[in-house]
Structure 1
Amino acid sequence: MDDFKRIYLCLCKEAGIEPQECILKQLHDGCNENLRKRLDLSTQSLSVDTCAVLGKVFANDIVFTEILLCDCMLSEEGAKLLLYGFCANTTIQTLDMKGNNLRAAGAEALGKLLRHNKSLKKRDHVVSSEYRRLDLSEVQVNYLEGMSGALDIRKEEVNSLILEWNALGMWEEGFCVFCEGVRTNKCLKRLDLRNNQINHQGVGELALALKHNDVLEELDLRWNNVGLLGGRALLCALQQNKTLMRLELAGNNIPSDLLKAIEQAVSHNSDCQTTLRESRSRSKILSNEIHCLKVEKNKQFLNMMGVIDQQKEELTRSSRNAAMQVGQLQEALTEKSSIINSLRAKVQMTDAALTLSEQKSNNLKELFEKTKLENLALKERHSKELKKEQEEACNREAKLARELNAANGKNMELKNKMDELERRCKVQHDQICHLKQELASVTAEMKQRIVQTEERLEVEKKRFKQLLDDSEVLRKKEVEHMNLQMRESEHCLQDRIQKLENIRIQLETELSHLKASVVTHRALAEEELIKMRNQIRMEEQELLANLEEKLHLVSQSRDECQNRCTMQKQTINDLQAKNNKFTFEVEGLKRRIEELTQELSGKDQEKVAEVNIVRVELQEQIGHLQAERIAQEGLKEKISALERQLKVQSSNHRDAMLDKESEISSLLEKVRLKENEIVRMKEDEAQRASFLHNAIISYVHSSPYGGQCTKK
C-alpha cells in the first residue's frame, strides 16, 4: 500500500499534477484491511490527467485486488486510459465501473482489455435503474515477485463484472470490438449487459462471439432491445455453445415460445455440465479403488515371494546337513571295516580254542533261541503298527476327500456371502499371521528334534553303512523332487501375476473407452463389456484349473511321504534279514564245533594242561561277548526309540501339510473375493453408463429441439 502511494505521488510530480485528496484518503483507509486490498473511488470526480496517472500505476500494481469506480462520470479519454492500464495488471480481482456512461471508445477499450488481460476471469457489463454494487472481476494470479519486496500473490477466481447505466450498444463498431474481445477471452465466467441499449444487430455479434467462447457460464441481457431476430441468433449460438448455464432475457420483447426454447437449451447445457462433473468424480473414485487393489496385490505377491525365499533357504540348509551326515557316515563305515577285519582275525585264532566250549555253546544256543523269539515278537509288533498306520492313512484320505467336497460347497456359498467375507478379511489376516508364527515355532522344534536324532544316529553310523547309503539316495531324490515342486509353484505364481497385470491393463483401457464413449457409443461399450465378461470367465476357469493342479501336487507330496514311510519299513525288514543271516552263521559255527569236538576227543588226555589255559582265555572272551550282547540289546532299544521318533515326525509333517493346505485355501478365497469385486465394479460402471445414456436420450426427446431433430 505504501509503495502504491509513493509511486502515485512520484508520477503526479512528474506530470505536474496535484494528487487528489480523495485518492490519498482511500489509500490510507485501505491500509487497515488485512485480508483483501480494496480501493474505493466511487462518486469521485476523476480528471483525465488523474486517470492517466492511475492507469500507469495500475499497470505495474501488485497490491490492490478490488477497485470501485462507481458513478465517477468518467470521460471517454479518462476511461480509455484507465482500461489500458488495467490491460497489463495481473492482480485485480474486482472492478466496479457502474454508471459511467461508457460508449464507443469505452467499448473498444473493454474489448482490448478482454483480449490482453488474462487475469480477469468474469466480466459483467450492465446499466440498471438501481445503483447497486458492481463486481467486475475476480482473478486467479500466480505467485509473482513484486517490485518493492518480492511479494507473492495468488490467483483467485473472479465473481462478476458489472457496468450499470452504460451505453455500449449504441455504437455498432465499438460493440463489435467488445464482442471480439469476448470471443477471444478464455477466462471470463459471467457477463452482465443489462440496460446497455443493445439491439438485435449487437446481439447477433454477441451470439457469434458465444459460438467460439467455451468458458462463459452466465449472461444477463435484461432490459435491452434484443427482439425476435436477436432471440433467434442467441438460440442458434446455444446449439454450438455447451458451457452457458444461465441466460437472462426479461424485458427484451422476445416471444414466449422462443424464450422457452432458449431456457430449455440453457437447462440442457447445465444438465450436461452436471453429468460431466459426476462422471469425472466417479472416474476418480474408480481410479483410486483400482490403485488400492494394485497395492494389495503387490503386497500379496511380495509376501508369497518372501515365503518362497524362506523355503529355499530351508532346503539349502537341509542339503548342507545331509552332505555333512554323508561324510560322517563314510568315516564310520571305514572304521567299521577295520573293526570287522580285526574280528575276522580273532575268529581264526579262536577256532582252535572252541573245542572245549561245548557247554558254553549250549548256553549260547539258549540265548539265541530267546533272541529269535524276541525278534518274532518285534516282527509282529511292527506288522501291527504298519497296519494301523495304513488304516490311519486311508482314514485321512477319506477325510481329505470329504473336506474337499465340503470346500467346494463352501465356495458356492461364499459367492453369495461376499459382504460378510469382506468384514472377516481382517480377522483372517490376523489368523494367517498367527499361523505363520506357529509354523516358525514348529520349524524350530523340528530343527531341535533333528539335531537330537543326528546325535543319536552318530552312534549307529558305524554298523549301518549300506542302510544309510540307501537312505541318502532317497533323501537326494526327495530334495530334487521338492525343488521341482518349488519351481513349478514359482512358474504358476508368475503366470498368475502376469494374468492379473493383463487384467489390470484391460480394465484401464476399458475405463478410458467408456469415459470417451458414454453418450455416443453405447453399443460398442456393451460389446466390450460382454467380451470382458467372457475373458473373466475364462480366467476364472484357468484359475480353477491351476488350483486343481496344486491340489494334485499336494496329493502327490502326500503319496511321497507314504512312500518314505514304506522305505523306512523296508530298511527295518533288511535289518531283520541281516539278523537272520547272523543266526545262520552261528548255526554253521556250532556244526563246525561239533566236528572239532569229534576230532579232538582222542587228544583230550594230551592237552589237559593246554585246555585249562584255553578255558581261562575263553572265559575272558565269553565276558567280552556278553558285553557285546548287552550293547546289541541297548542298540535295539535305541532303534525302537528312533522308530517312535520317526512316527512322531511323520505325524507332525502331516499336520504341517494340512496347515499349509488351509493357508492355500484361504489365499484362494481372498483372490476370488478380489475378482468378484472387480466384476461388481465393472457391472456398476456399465449400469451407470446405461443410466446416463437413457437420461440423455429421454432429455433430448422431451425437449422441443430434440423432437424436431428426431422428425428431421
Structure 2
Amino acid sequence: MEEFRRTYLRLCKEAGTEPQESLVAQLHETRSAASSVRLDLTGQSLTVESCCVLGRALQKDNLFTELVLSDCMLSEEGAKLLLSGLCSNTMVKVLDLKGNNLRGAGAEALGKLLVRNKALQRLVLEWNALGMWEDGFSIFCEGLASNSSLIQLDLRNNQINHQGAAELALALKRNSVLQHLDLRWNNMGLLGSRSLLDALQQNRTLLQLEMAGNNVPSDILKAIAQSVDHNADRTSTLRESRTRAQVLTKEIQILKEEKGRQMLGLMETIDKQRDEMGRSSRNSSIQLGQLQEALSERKSAVNSLTAKLQMTEAALTLSEQKVSNLGELLTKVKLEKTELMDRQSRDMKKQLEESVQREGKLLKEVNSLSEKNLQLKNKLEESERRCKVQQDQMFSVKQELTNSTAELKLRLAQAEERLDMEKRRSKQALEDMDSLRQKEVDHVNRHLEESERALQDRILKLEGQRLQLEEPPPPPMQEVSRVKAAMVTERAQADEDLGRVRAQVRLEEQERLSGLEEKLRGARQARDEAQGRCTQQKQTISDLQARATQHTIEMDSLRRRIDEMQQDLVGKEQEKLAEVTRVRVELQEQIGHLQAERTAQSGLKEKVAALEREMKALVSSHRDTLLDKESELSSLQERVRLREGEIQRMREDEAQRASFLHNAILTYVQGSPLTHYSPKK
C-alpha cells in the first residue's frame, strides 16, 4: 500500500501536477488498515489529472484486486484515462463505477477495457447513462461480446431502451462467460425483452437475469426466468457430469495401475521361473557331464584291471609251470585260486555290465525327463500367452461396455430434457392462448353489455320524453304534429343507431372469433407438433433401450466366454498337476530301484568278505605243508596280497562311485525344477 502511495506521488511529480489531498488522505487510511487488497475511493471527486495519474499507477499494480470508484462524479475524459490505464492491469477482479453519470465516451472506454482486460470478473455500472448514446453503448456491447473473463455485470438505472437491449442481446449471443446480469430499472419495454428472450435461446451460460422495472409483460418475464433456470439446470448437470467423468477417469487410472502391477508381478514370476528352469537345466547338464566323466573313468579303470588280470594270468601260468612239481595239494590250491579268480572276474564283468546298463537307463531317463521338462515349458508359455490374450480381451470389452453405458445414459438424459422442455413449452402456450381468448371474450361481453345498457338508457329517456309530451293539455295541432314528427324521426334514428351498433358489434365479435379460431388452430398445430416430437423422443428412447439390452446380452455372452476360458485354465492346471505327480511317482520308483541295487551290492561285498575268510582258512590249513616252499610261496603270497589290495581298492572305488552316482541322482531329483513349478493357488 505504501508503495502504491509513493508511486502515485512520484507520477504526480513527473506529470507536474499537484496530488489531490483527499486522495492522498484516503490512501493513507487504506495503508493503516492492515494489508488490504481493496482500494475504496467512494465519494472522492477525482479531477482529470488525478484520473490520469491513477490510470498510470494502476497499469502495473500487483496489489489491489478490488477498485471502488462509486459516486466520484468522473468526467468523460477522466473516466477514459482511468479505464485506459486499467486495460493492462492483471490483478483487479472487481470494478465499481456506480453513480458516475458515464455516457458515450465512458461507454466506449468500457468497451475497450472489456476487450483488452483479461482479469476483470465483476463490473458495477449502476446509476449511469450508458444507454443514452447508441454508438457508445454498441461499442460497450461489442467489448462485452468479445470478453472472456467477466462473470457479473450490473447495469441498473442506465436508461437502456429497446435498441440498447437489442445490442445487448447480440452481445449475449456471442458471450459464453457471463453468469449474472442485472438490468433492473431501465426502459427496455416489450421489444427489448423479446430480443433478450431470443438471445437466451442461444446463450447457455447466463444463470441470473434481473428485469424488474422495465415495463416487461409477465409472460415474457416468466419465459426469461424459465430459460435462465434451464441454463442453471444445464450448468449443474454439466458440473455433475464433469465430476462423474473425473471420478471415472480416476477409477480407470487406478484399474490401469492395478493391471500394470499385476502384469509386472506376473512377468517377475515368469522371469523367476525361467531363471530357475535355466539353473536346473545347467545343473542337469553339469550332472550329466559328471556322470559321463565318471563313466569314462570307470571304463579306463576296467580296462586297466583287465590288462592287469591278463598280466597276472600270464604270471600265474608261468608260476604253475614252475611249481608243477610241488604236488597235488599245491595244484588243488592253484585250481581253487584260479576258480576264485574266474568267479571274481565274472562277478566283476557282471557288475560292470549291470553298471553300464544302469547308466544307460539313467541317461535315457534323464533325456526323457529333459524332454518332459521342455514340453511342460512349452505348455506353460502357451497357457501364459492365452491368459494374456484373454486379459486383453476382457479389458477391451470392459472399456467398450463403460463407453456404451456412458453414451446411453447421456443420450437418455438429453432425450428426457428435450421431452420435458417440449411439454413445458406446449403447456405454457396452451395456457397463454386460453387466458388470451378468455380475456378477449370478457372484453367483447363487457362492450356488448355497455352498448346495450346505453341504448336501453337512451330508449328509456325517449319514452319518458314521449310520456311528458303526451301528459300536458293538448297544444295546438300544428305543434303536436311537429313534436310527433320529431319523435318519430328521433325514434327512427335511434333504431338505425341501434342496428348499426349491433351490426358493428357482431362484425367485431365475428372478427375476434375468427382470430381466436386461428390462434386455437395454431395452438392445436403446436400441440400436434409437440406430440409428434414426444413420439419421436419415445421412439429414440425405445431404440436406446433396445441397444442397451443388446449390449447387456453381449456382455453376458462375453462373461460366459470368460467363464469357459477360466474353466479351461483350471482343467489345464489340473492336467499339469497330474503330470507332475506322475513324474514324482516315477522318480520315487527309480530311487527305490537304486536302493535295491545298493542292497544287492552290499550282499556282494559280504560274499567277497566270506570268500576272503575261506581263502585265509585254506592258507592257514596248508601252511604246514608249504613250509619247505616258503621262499617261492612268499613271492606268490606277496603277489596275491597285492592283487587283493588292488581288488579292495577297486571295490572301494566302485562303492565310492556308486555313492557319488546315488548322491548325484538324489541332488538332481531334489533340485529338479518340477518341484518349483507347482501351480499357485
Which TM bucket (shorter chain)? 0.5 to 0.7
CA 1:291/1:575 → structure 2, altered by over 3 Å: closer, same or farther?
Answer: closer
> How big is each residue's C-alpha offset from its partner over 1:480-526, in whole Å with a ceiling of 9 and x where there is no partner?
43244234423432443354345445655665666566423756666
Identify the match of residue 481 of structure 1 among 372, 375, 391. Answer: 372
* Greater Rg by CA: 2
8 Å CA contact 1:103–1:168 kept in 2: the answer is yes
SS in 2 for 1:197: coil
Give, as a single letter, the amino acid of the residue that structure 1 aligns with 2:561: M
What does residue 205 of structure 2 align with?
Answer: 243
Does residue 324 of the first structure (1) align with residue 347 of the second (2)?
A: no
Gaps of 5+ in 1: 123-159, 372-459, 584-606, 666-712
Instruction: Give the Cα–Cα distance (whole angstroms) in 1 for the partners of residues 365 and 184 of structure 2.
Output: 98
What does residue 157 of structure 2 align with?
Answer: 195
Identify the match of residue 124 of structure 2 among 162, 179, 193. Answer: 162
Does residue 51 of the first structure (1) align with residue 74 of the second (2)?
A: no
8 Å CA contact 1:356–1:611 kept in 2: the answer is no
Does residue 496 of the first structure (1) align with residue 400 of the second (2)?
A: no
Shift of 1:34: 6.5
Does residue 553 of the first structure (1) align with residue 529 of the second (2)?
A: no
Identify the match of residue 471 of structure 1 among 353, 356, 362. Answer: 362
Instruction: Give the Cα–Cα distance (whole angstroms) in 1 for the partners of residues 107 and 553 of structure 2.
Output: 58
Shift of 1:46: 0.6
CA 1:31/1:263 → structure 2, altered by over 3 Å: closer, same or farther?
Answer: closer
Instruction: Give the Cα–Cα distance (whole angstroms) in 2 for the partners of residues 277 and 608 of structure 1.
Output: 118
What does residue 301 of structure 2 align with?
Answer: 335
CA 1:14/1:650 → structure 2, altered by over 3 Å: closer, same or farther?
Answer: closer
> How big is each residue's C-alpha offset from its partner over 1:183-222, in whole Å with a ceiling of 9 and x where there is no partner?
2112222223333333444333323322222222223333
CA 1:206/1:320 → structure 2, altered by over 3 Å: closer, same or farther?
Answer: farther
What does residue 81 of structure 2 align with?
Answer: 81
Q: CA RMSD in A?
A: 4.8
TM-score with structure 2 setting the length: 0.62
Does residue 307 of the first structure (1) align with residue 272 of the second (2)?
A: yes
SS in 1 for 2:128: coil
Instruction: Give the Cα–Cα distance (whole angstroms) in 2 for the partners of residues 491 and 99 of structure 1.
Output: 83
Shift of 1:531: 3.9
TM-score with structure 1 setting the length: 0.60
Give, as a single letter, the amino acid of the residue that structure 2 aligns with 1:280: A
Identify the match of residue 410 of structure 2 among 515, 519, 524. Answer: 519
Instruction: Give the Cα–Cα distance (whole angstroms) in 2 for the partners of residues 617 and 531 of structure 1.
Output: 100
What does residue 70 of structure 2 align with?
Answer: 70
Instruction: Give the Cα–Cα distance (whole angstroms) in 2 for the partners of residues 326 and 35 of structure 1.
Output: 93
What does residue 181 of structure 2 align with?
Answer: 219
Give, as a single letter, the amino acid of the residue that structure 2 aligns with 1:310: D
Shift of 1:622: 7.5
Instruction: Give the Cα–Cα distance (whole angstroms) in 2 for the partners of residues 240 and 214 of structure 1.
Output: 10
8 Å CA contact 2:273–2:677 kept in 1: the answer is no
What does residue 412 of structure 1 align with?
Answer: none
Shift of 1:343: 2.7
8 Å CA contact 2:84–2:113 kept in 1: the answer is yes
Shift of 1:172: 3.4
Instruction: Give the Cα–Cα distance (whole angstroms) in 2 for the partners of residues 305 and 46 of structure 1.
Output: 81
> How big is each residue's C-alpha offset from its partner over 1:278-297, in whole Å with a ceiling of 9 and x where there is no partner?
32332233233223323322
Instruction: Give the Cα–Cα distance (whole angstroms) in 1 for the partners of residues 675 and 365 of structure 2.
Output: 24
Give, as a single letter, the amino acid of the residue that structure 2 aligns with 1:357: V
Gaps of 5+ in 2: 321-329, 413-543, 607-624
Shift of 1:116: 1.5
Mapping for residues 157-556 of structure 1, pairs under 5 Å: 160-252=122-214, 253-255=216-218, 257-258=222-223, 261-262=226-227, 264-318=229-283, 319-347=285-313, 349-350=315-316, 355-357=331-333, 464-501=355-392, 503-504=394-395, 507-508=398-399, 511=402, 518-520=409-411, 522=544, 527=550, 530-531=553-554, 534-556=557-579
SS in 2 for 1:191: strand
SS in 2 for 1:219: strand
Instruction: Give the Cα–Cα distance (whole angstroms) in 2 for the partners of residues 67 and 344 of structure 1.
Output: 124
Instruction: Give the Cα–Cα distance (whole angstroms) in 2 for the partners of residues 276 and 88 of structure 1.
Output: 36
Instruction: Give the Cα–Cα distance (whole angstroms) in 1 for the partners of residues 235 and 361 of structure 2.
Output: 85
Instruction: Give the Cα–Cα distance (whole angstroms) in 1 for the partners of residues 565 and 161 of structure 2.
Output: 72
Identity over aligned pairs, percent: 32
Shift of 1:45: 0.6
> How big is each residue's C-alpha offset from its partner over 1:335-373, in whole Å with a ceiling of 9 and x where there is no partner?
2321233134435655786841399789989x99xx9xx
Instruction: Give the Cα–Cα distance (whole angstroms) in 2 for the partners of residues 343 and 362 of structure 1.
Output: 11
Give, as a single letter, the amino acid of the residue that structure 2 aligns with 1:258: A
SS in 2 for 1:247: strand
Shift of 1:231: 4.2
Give, as a single letter, the amino acid of the residue that structure 2 aligns with 1:55: G
What does residue 18 of structure 2 align with?
Answer: 18
SS in 1 for 2:411: coil
Shift of 1:463: 9.1
> How big is each residue's C-alpha offset from its partner over 1:603-658, in whole Å with a ceiling of 9 and x where there is no partner?
xxxx989987787677778878888998899899989989998998799689x968
CA 1:116/1:508 → structure 2, altered by over 3 Å: closer, same or farther?
Answer: farther
